[in-house]
A = this chain, B = another copy of it.
Amino acid sequence: MKLSWRKFGIGLGGALTLLAVTGSKAFAQEEGPSSAELAVAIDTMFLLIAGALVFFMQAGFAMLTAGLTQAKNTTNILFKNLMDFVMCSIAFWAVGWGLAYGDSAGGFIGTSQFFLTSAGGDGVPVYVSWFFQVVFAGTAATIVAGAMAERTKFTAYLVYSFIITLFIYPVVVHWVWSGAGWLNTYSGSTDGNWGFTDFAGSTVVHSVGGWAALMGAIILGPRLGRFGSDGKPKSIPGHSMALAALGTFILWLGWFGFNPGSQLAISSQGNADAVALVIVTTNLAAAAGGLGALFTAWFRSGKPDLGQTMNGVLGGLVAITAGCAYVNPISAILIGFLAGPLVVFGAEWLEKAKIDDPVGAVPVHLINGAWGTIAVGLFASAPGNTGTLGLFFGGGATLLMAQVVGIIAIGAWTALLAGAMFLAIKATIGLRVSKEEELSGLDVGEHGSVAYPDFVPGTASVPAAD
């Protein structure tokens, strides 16, 4: 077959290309690779595809955030979303991965594997594991863009996105997912296998992003005009529901990599069963979250609201992320459904506190991240893949306590560090653009251009193209 020839052609005479050719020929001879090698191949492909889906969530966040903010700031917000993953890729390669998965210093921080210099031996390649992890780091980072949108300096945002993926987020990963972290052995259980439970990152990824988003939004202060002189909130509508809806669909799709991929393997009956459960609970929680937000917002405002419903879907997805492998489908629907009102009321609470979160990142990621993590302590029902049960399934409060401790510890760490970082940025290079720039739009002020030059602007503050 020509295709094995292709590798033969482009190869440099190395062992690998010969292996590929030999492998191809072997197919016809009914002598294939070993079962262990096939398992490695399957799991490598699984992480590659799941990671690619999670990467695509960057596009989802970019479209959602751009759609829910004003046309005059579109280039700026897209730029920040793009730079999130650019900075993250470099920071997580150089330092972040090592802090997360390097040899542990007292369960607090990793201390080796910087700059990805060791590629490991047989088994699922370290490189593909890095890829699957870097897209999670990028997710945590990009959550913040929406809450700080329409008023944050571009340079300040670059510094932030580098630091969160270099240090703040990786340390949390080490605590929970490294196998040596203090949080996942917190309770003193003798087998070291009990503790804080967050399957795919309701807290580790989403609440970390959400806490940073909250601190950023507080330290920045609200957008001009967001609260009237009488303190009354005034809605600033986003400029394209089409982009926002596209972003929501892309994020929902990406979650089919985010959660199932977090099983990290599929090459056994047990892994395949777990992955299949995860995809069902993930999808049902998303749908139920949409319903919950739809009904809540409809009841409160008298109209069905697309923005709230989309955030309900996303809130349901965030909430199921911690427990998707541990709960049954009915529990998933309950967890997701409650995410809906949390999104709606969460946004109202923020408004009352005069905190301006243009896209609802805090209700979706922080509040529902916490809710989903607590829900594990309530609904974990061991459908074949967990030993400790939640409160509602006869497990007592042990797991629930561990969840609360983890939420508090990770929240305190992230809020303190992110807060200190944003204050330091504010005191040095500055965190917020000038009043004039905010009014005329960050696209003109920061980048000297506009996102939609061919369209007559709908607000006086969006200038025509030069």
Q: How many copies does the complex hold?
A: 3
Contact B239 A125 (CB under 8 A): no
Please give, as numbers and ranges, the residues of chain B lying within 8 Å of A440 by CB-CB distance.
none
Complexed CA–CA distance, A286 and B399 (Å):
42
Interface string of A223-239 (1 = CB under 8 A from B): 00000000000010111
Contact A56 B249 (CB under 8 A): yes
Interface string of A1-34 (1 = CB under 8 A from B): 1111111111111111101100110111111111
Verify if A422 is at the interface (C-beta below 8 Å from B).
no
Verify if A176 is at the interface (C-beta below 8 Å from B).
yes
Please give, as numbers and ranges, the residues of chain B lying within 8 Å of A428 by CB-CB distance.
none
Interface string of A43-87 (1 = CB under 8 A from B): 011101101110110110011001000111011001101110111
Within 8 A of B (CB), among A232-260: 235, 237-243, 245-246, 248-250, 252-253, 256-257, 260
Verify if A180 is at the interface (C-beta below 8 Å from B).
yes
Complexed CA–CA distance, A333 and B116 (Å):
12
Complexed CA–CA distance, A8 and B191 (Å):
11
Q: Can you show 30 pairs from A to B with CB atoms below 8 A apart? A: A4-B264, A8-B193, A9-B176, A10-B197, A13-B386, A16-B273, A23-B39, A23-B265, A31-B36, A33-B269, A41-B267, A52-B253, A55-B256, A56-B253, A62-B249, A63-B246, A66-B242, A78-B242, A82-B245, A82-B249, A82-B290, A82-B310, A83-B309, A85-B287, A86-B290, A86-B313, A122-B269, A154-B304, A305-B449, A456-B457
Q: Which of B131, B279, B333, B384 contacts A283 (CB 8 A)?
A: B131
Verify if A101 is at the interface (C-beta below 8 Å from B).
yes
Verify if A408 is at the interface (C-beta below 8 Å from B).
no
> Which DSSP category, helix, strand, loop or mixed, fits chain A's interface?
helix
Contact B82 A306 (CB under 8 A): yes
Please give, as numbers and ranges, the residues of chain B lying within 8 Å of A179 by CB-CB distance.
2, 4-6, 8-9
User: Shortest beta-carbon distance, A445 to chain B, in Å?
Assistant: 9
Verify if A350 is at the interface (C-beta below 8 Å from B).
no
Q: Which of A207-215, A364-372, A458-466 contacts B (4 or more CB under 8 A)?
A: A458-466
Please give, as numbers and ranges, the residues of chain B lying within 8 Å of A148 by CB-CB distance.
none
Given A242-B243, A383-B119, answer yes or no on A250-B59 (Cβ-Cβ < 8 Å).
yes
Contact A451 B386 (CB under 8 A): no
Please give, as numbers and ranges, the residues of chain B lying within 8 Å of A399 by CB-CB distance.
12
Complexed CA–CA distance, A83 and B305 (Å):
12
Contact B24 A30 (CB under 8 A): no
Contact A12 B456 (CB under 8 A): no
Contact A121 B28 (CB under 8 A): yes
Contact B465 A454 (CB under 8 A): no
Contact B242 A7 (CB under 8 A): no
Contact B40 A42 (CB under 8 A): no
Verify if A414 is at the interface (C-beta below 8 Å from B).
no
Verify if A141 is at the interface (C-beta below 8 Å from B).
no
Contact A36 B45 (CB under 8 A): no
Q: A-B pairs with the 8 shortest C-beta distances?
A: A5-B179, A32-B35, A59-B249, A125-B276, A32-B36, A89-B287, A13-B387, A16-B385
Given A449-B237, A458-B454, answer yes or no on A267-B33 (Cβ-Cβ < 8 Å).
yes
Contact B33 A268 (CB under 8 A): yes
User: Shortest beta-carbon distance, A29 to chain B, in Å?
Assistant: 7
Verify if A425 is at the interface (C-beta below 8 Å from B).
no
User: Shortest beta-carbon distance, A319 to chain B, in Å?
Assistant: 15
Verify if A221 is at the interface (C-beta below 8 Å from B).
no
User: Shortest beta-carbon distance, A142 to chain B, in Å?
Assistant: 11
**Which residue of B has the minimal Cβ distance to A194?**
B13
**Which residue of B has the minimal Cβ distance to A387?**
B13
Complexed CA–CA distance, A288 and B87 (Å):
9
User: Shortest beta-carbon distance, A465 to chain B, in Å?
Assistant: 5
Verify if A93 is at the interface (C-beta below 8 Å from B).
yes
User: Shortest beta-carbon distance, A302 to chain B, in Å?
Assistant: 8
Verify if A156 is at the interface (C-beta below 8 Å from B).
no
Please give, as numbers and ranges, the residues of chain B lying within 8 Å of A257 by CB-CB distance.
52
Contact A44 B272 (CB under 8 A): yes
Please give, as numbers and ranges, the residues of chain B lying within 8 Å of A5 by CB-CB distance.
101, 177-180
Please give, as numbers and ranges, the residues of chain B lying within 8 Å of A193 by CB-CB distance.
8, 11-13
Contact B456 A455 (CB under 8 A): yes
